[in-house]
Structure 1
Amino acid sequence: MTRTASIPTAGTDAPRVGARGWAALIVLMLPVLLVSVDNTVLSFALPEISIALAPSGAEQLWIIDVYPLVLAGLLVTMGTLGDRFGRRRMLLIGASGFAAVSVLAAFAPTAGLLIAARALLGFFGAMLMPSTLSLLRSIFVNRDQRRLAIAVWASAFSAGSALGPIVGGFLLEHFSWGSVFLIAVPVLIPLLIAAPLLVPESRDPNPGRIDLLSIALSMAAMIPVVYAIKSLAVDGPSVVAGAWALLGVVMGVLFVRRQLRAEIPMLDMALFRRGTFSGAILVNLLSVVALVGFLYFVSQHLQLVLGLSPMMAGLALVPGMAVMIVAGLGVVPISRRVAPHLVVPIGLAFSVAGYLIVAFTTHEHGVAPLIIAFVVLGIGIGAAETISNELILSSAPAEKAGAASAVSETAYELGAVLGTAVLGGIITAFYRAAIVLPAGLPTETADAARETLAGAYTASNELSGTLGDELWQAAADAFGSGVFITSLIGAGLVVVAGVIAAVTLRTRTPR
């Protein structure tokens, strides 16, 4: 018989959970670990994928971005369906599909098929993430316990990101790139076994009818906007990008108007009138943009420019990931006494400093400055993610936890798309503009070297004598100039996040 969790009023005086609740938290961390491992592993596997499948620059970005693109388009829909049909049920369906498609992705023979598999992973991943966060909202009704649980949940992203380079580096040094996708299978099998035993089912007691038009409008709003951003980052301003952006905006306006008129809306737009909710969403989004964009170009710099193996490149980022976990957990007792509009901007100031370290030390071509930069960056990201996710959940009614969680995850995944598409697109554009190819290169070799850093790396290894060395030196210098500009832009985005936090996250100081 299915057990459905009751939804008492949450607060510091609400009932506290025992060992079973914390065991459920461990189970719910598994898909979070998986998604973060998947993102980091893919960034580190990208050089080998580029060499094996020879994708174009656009295909290389699509391999990374199609997953969060599909995920972002479906998160609100899946979160709402979870509220209606059961969040645990959606979690189990998503886990089953994710594991099966991961096996298909591992053996994709072409870049196109890998992109298609990543799109399917986005479909099933959209069932996973809102369910985990909304189930935490229904399990941990005591706010002090929930704040700690969300800190652990948010830290799981960092832990997975730290584990990903090490596990992925080991796999990439001993097996083909497809092995990184098979990690999902041993992670999700324990979830499928333990979740029915430990995680109680929960749903909205008054979900209303299924609004197919709202579901279609939400997808029609998200996907064109994200696609337009990608097109703008890769190809520059164009009529096509503008048309997609306009279509997304129009669909978004229609979606909002329908929600405002509905008796029981798919997404309660009144939530966005609360400064803490909207501000926390924006802080969440910009923090993820900064983190994912940093990992995108630093992973290539470590492996291709500095010549580190995938394993060593992963180990170089472990200190930063560890600090991010510590910051996410350490901010919990601080947030009980200091208001979030003070804590978050102070934390993000460290992240700004991390980006500036990268901007002004890339000319040294050393590993140490990048390690230090990521450690400093991780302090602010870890603190901001914990506080913003807790504010998003506490601002929403418990019965709408799935929809609120979906908005939070949409911000996260949209941030992942923007981090890769915008910051990744900027560094690619600067690389192409700055590279000065040596004379005497064959046309095909020159085109490949001009397209991506990985293309230049492969081409330089195929050339003999000084010509190959000259090509690689030109590519490394061009990439370094792109890192400088991209780091300054990343620092600017974090500054914007800090200002938003200072203005919007003004809540009563907790007891």
Structure 2
Amino acid sequence: MQTNPHAPTRATRATRATRATRKEWTALAVLMLPLLLVSMDVSVLYFAIPEVSADLRPSGTQQLWIFDIYAFVLAGLLMTMGSLGDRIGRRRLLLFGAVAFGAASLVAAYANSAETLIAARAVLGIGGATLMPSTMALVRTMFLDAGQRAKAIGIWTGVMVAGIALGSVMSGVLVEHFWWGSVFLVNLPAMVLLLLLAPLLIPESKDPAPGRFDLLSVPLSMAAVLPLVWGLKEMPAEGVRIEYVASVAVGLLFAALFVHRQRTTASPMISPDLFRGHGRAFGTAVSLNLVSSLAVMGSAYFTTQYLQSVLGKSAIEAALWALLPSVPIGFAAPAATALVQRGMDRAHVVAAGFVIAAGGYGLLALAGTDSLWLVLTGAGVLACGAVVVGSQLTDLALGAAPAEKAGSASSLLETGQEFGGALGMALLGSIGNAVYRDAMPGSAPAEARETLGGAVATAHHLPGRTADTLLTTAREAFTTGMHAATLTGAVILLAAAVLAMGALRGAGVREPENAGRAGEISSPSGV
């Protein structure tokens, strides 16, 4: 019996069956809408808060909660929502989140009291916690081909980073031309579009055998995440106080209880299987991705203050200048993906990303008190390195995780990013603040010795020459503190590069699944 040498083999046909078509790429574009808006809402109030304060007259505590409640609720519910999506369906959870996010945006836009705005921001956090892991999990289940999935995840990473950068600028532009509620109304058209297009383009997917939902794990996870994030975020601004240390300790205690619960219960929220076998790569990727987030947020803590308080830029000017380092980010992830697809070991690419990011920190360590372009270049180099690392580690983690646990895997990655960001601000911010206080003369006013912002505020009430002297001293002290923090960050990143070289060498992912996974993926119409 003769065979046709040009006939496609079974393996070739299977590979073709797993490759995404134009429909999946269009669905990816739809998924980027909620991701962009959720990431933008982290920073969307930066320039709107003066208008909010004048209109709603919140107390100091209420103003802090208007800022922080969104990020706290988002971080606290990520693991819960990721696990819930695996059980009820990721597309269904995405649509529920879109309704909640849109409704809360409408309430926030027309809030007539601080309490109403705080409540609306909390619901926005709930919606965000459903949207973020759902988008990443759906990318995992729609793109079965490893190469295509890597490209899709690179796009996902770039959109998330761009959203955080764009949020503050967009709020400044909108508040300049409209009222403060407009920063929330921009969410509505995108949510409506998502609700219309998602059922048509995005297939439903869920765990075919998820087991019961462990209700006890929900409060345990929140009791672990919220105190940790709050304590770590407050330390850079307020110092290492007993209440913040106690908060971190309480969070770690509940984290240990949460882990114990996941290891002993019959139906855990986060399956320990994620960390076994192929999951060893998953655990390593989550840990290293946390370090990457530490680097990004640690640098942002200093660069934003540098632009405003050292160089004297207005808030909107600083935000516009801060967009420049985001420009090359769009090329970083695709370049890294291309290198891996051409045969370069992923361990080498991730390690190179860490080294590049460390180089960005090195440039920041060379900055003086008038080094705008050096700081922007350093921030851009650091961001490119971090995006290389983040895109590759996200691809590795989701590829190593089973598709039926995509929601849980995505939520763990994103929770790790939240921890990394808070830890970066706490660790590097505390180092920088400690050096700043040590460098400030004892004769300076007490408020000026605490922070650069305090020095700027104090200088407004001093005569010209005295104010100039105080500002010059404070800016030099801040820059010295930034040098110490950025050098520490560079050392951490270089250590992470060495770890990546060893831990990720030859790390692979699961084989591509066949297109027809019964019970797990249905057609966009739900059939």
Bin for the TM-score computed over the shorter chain: 0.7 to 0.9
CA contact (8 A) 1:396 1:404 kept: yes
Offset at residue 458 of structure 1 (A): 4.3
The whole-number CA distance in structure 2 between the counterparts of 1:72 and 1:332 is 28
Equivalent runs, 1:272-421 vs 2, <5 Å: 272-273=275-276, 274-336=279-341, 337-361=343-367, 363-421=368-426
Alpha-carbon offset, residue 484 of structure 1:
1.8
Tell me which amino acid in the other structure corresponds to 2:481: G
Equivalences for residues 231-310 of structure 1 within 5 A: 232-237=235-240, 239-273=242-276, 274-310=279-315
Q: Distance in 2 between matches of 1:481 and 1:51?
A: 36
Q: Which amino acid aligns with 2:221?
A: S
Which of residues 13, 17, 20 in structure 2 aligns to 1:17?
20
Alpha carbons of structure 1 residues 306 and 174: separation in structure 2 relative to 1, 3 Å:
farther
> Cα distance, 1:82 vs. partner?
0.9
Cα drift, residue 86 of structure 1 = 1.7
Unpaired segments of 5 or more residues in structure 2?
Answer: 1-13, 512-527
Question: Which amino acid counterpart does residue 499 of structure 1 have in structure 2?
Answer: V
Q: Does 1:89 align with 2:88?
A: no
**Distance (Å, rounded) in 1 between the aligned partners of 2:142 and 2:167:** 28
Q: Work out the CA distance in 2 between the residues paired with 1:84 and 1:74.
A: 15
Amino acid paired to 1:193: L
> 2: CA distance between counterparts of 1:298 and 1:179?
28
Q: Which residue of structure 2 lines up, in the alignment, with residue 31 of structure 1?
A: 34
Confirm or deny that 1:483 pairs with 2:482: yes
Q: In 2 relative to 1, CA 429–88 (structure 1 residues): closer, same or farther, beyond 3 Å?
A: farther
Mean Cα displacement is larger for which, 499-508 or 61-70?
61-70
**Amino acid of the structure 1 residue aligned with 2:28:** L
Task: Answer yes or no: is 1:220 the counterpart of 2:223.
Answer: yes
Decide whether aligned partners of structure 1 residues 438 and 117 sit closer, same or farther in structure 2, where only a CA change above 3 A counts.
farther
Q: Is the 8 A contact 2:288 2:496 kept in 1?
A: yes
Quote the Cα distance in structure 1 between the aligned partners of 2:165 and 2:272. 36
Residue 72 (structure 2) aligns with: 69
SS in 1 for 2:18: coil
For residues 460 and 290 of structure 2, the distance between their equivalents in structure 1, rounded to whole angstroms, comes to 39
Q: Which residue of 1 aligns with 2:10?
A: none
Report the CA distance between 1:391 and its aligned residue. Answer: 0.9
Distance 1:285 1:13 in 2: 35
Question: Which string of whole-angstrom CA distances, capped at 9 and with x for unpartnered residues, describes residues 91-111 of structure 1?
Answer: 222223233434555677998
Larger displacement relative to structure 2 (238-247 or 12-21): 238-247
Higher helix share: 1
- State whether residues 47 and 300 of structure 1, in contact with CA within 8 Å, keep that contact through their aligned partners in structure 2: no
Give the counterpart letter for 1:132 in structure 2. T
C-alpha separation between the residues in 2 aligned to 1:66 and 1:493? 30
| C-alpha distance in 2 between matches for 1:504 and 1:281 | 12
Q: 1:431 to 1:70 in 2, by over 3 A?
A: farther
Matched-pair contact (CA < 8 Å) for 2:111–2:117:
yes
Determine helix, strand or coil for the equivalent of 1:360: coil
1:336-388 CA-partner distances (Å, limit 9, x unpaired): 21111111111211111111111121x24121101211221122111111111
Please give the residue correspondences for 1:56-205 in structure 2 after superposition, counting only pairs within 5 Å: 66-102=69-105, 118-164=121-167, 166-171=169-174, 173-174=176-177, 179-205=182-208
Describe the superposition over 1:133-180 as per-residue Cα deviations: whole angstroms up to 9, x where unpaired.
011112112222111111111111233245345434433554576654
CA distance 1:126–1:102, shift in 2 (3 Å): same
* Distance across 2 between alignment mates of 1:451 and 1:338: 48
AA at the equivalent of 1:32: L
Distance (Å, rounded) in 2 between the aligned partners of 1:175 and 1:456 = 33
Q: Structure 1 pair 247/344, CA: closer, same or farther in 2 (3 Å)?
A: same
Cα deviations by residue, 1:460-488 (Å, 9 ceiling, x for unpaired): 34555334434433432332233222222
Match of 2:8 in 1: none
TM (norm. structure 2) is: 0.82
Contact 1:214 1:266 in 2 (8 A): yes
Provide closer, same or farther for how the CA distance between residues 364 and 214 of structure 1 changes in structure 2, counting only shifts above 3 A: closer
- Count of residue pairs brought into register by the alignment: 493
1:419/1:112 CA distance change after superposition, 3 Å: farther
Which secondary structure state, in structure 1, belongs to the residue aligned with residue 327 of structure 2?
Answer: helix
Pair 39,136 (structure 1): closer, same or farther in 2 beyond 3 Å: same
Greater shift in the superposed pair: 108-117 or 160-169: 108-117
- Superposed displacement of residue 190, structure 1: 2.3
User: CA shift at 1:36, angstroms?
Assistant: 3.0
How far did 1:502 drift?
A: 1.7
| Letter matched to residue 87 of structure 1 | R
- Structure 1 residue 394 displacement after superposition: 0.8
Shift of 1:126: 0.9
Range with greater deviation from structure 2 (76-85 or 469-478): 469-478
Shift of residue 453, structure 1, vs aligned partner = 3.8
User: What letter is aligned with 1:124?
Assistant: G
Corresponding residue for residue 4 of structure 1: none
Deviation at 1:47, TM superposition (A): 9.1
Specify whether residues 299 and 248 from structure 1 end up closer, same or farther in structure 2 by C-alpha distance, changes over 3 A only. Answer: closer
The residue identity in structure 1 corresponding to 2:497 is G
Gap runs ≥5 in structure 1 = 1-10
Deviations 1:278-326 (A, max 9, x none): 1111121111121122223212221232133444433433342121221
Query: Structure 1: how far apart are the matches of 2:358 and 2:76?
Result: 30
* Superposition deviation, residue 70 in structure 1: 2.6
TM-score w.r.t. the length of structure 1 is: 0.84
Check 1:39–1:111 CA distance in 2 against 1; reply closer, same or farther (3 A cut).
same
Deviates more, 1:183-192 or 1:408-417: 183-192
What secondary structure, in the 3-state scheme, does the structure 2 residue paired with 1:39 have? Answer: coil
Which amino acid is the alignment partner of residue 485 of structure 1?
A: A
SS, match of residue 201 in structure 1:
coil
For residues 20-58 of structure 1, what are the alpha-carbon distances to aligned partners after superposition, in whole Å with 9 as ceiling and x for unaligned? 1111100111122123333354567789989998987x9
Partners of 2:66 and 2:429 lie apart in 1 by 13
Q: What is the alpha-carbon root mean square deviation over aligned residues?
A: 3.4
Mark the structure with the bigger radius of gyration.
2
How far apart in 1 are the matches of 2:162 and 2:102? Answer: 20
CA distance in 2, matches of 1:434, 1:110: 43
Distance between the aligned counterparts of 1:488 and 1:110, measured in 2? 44
Please state how far the C-alpha of 1:266 moved relative to its aligned partner.
Answer: 1.7
The answer to whether the Cα contact below 8 Å between 1:351 and 1:381 also exists between their aligned partners in 2 is: yes
Distance 1:137 1:120, change over 3 A: same
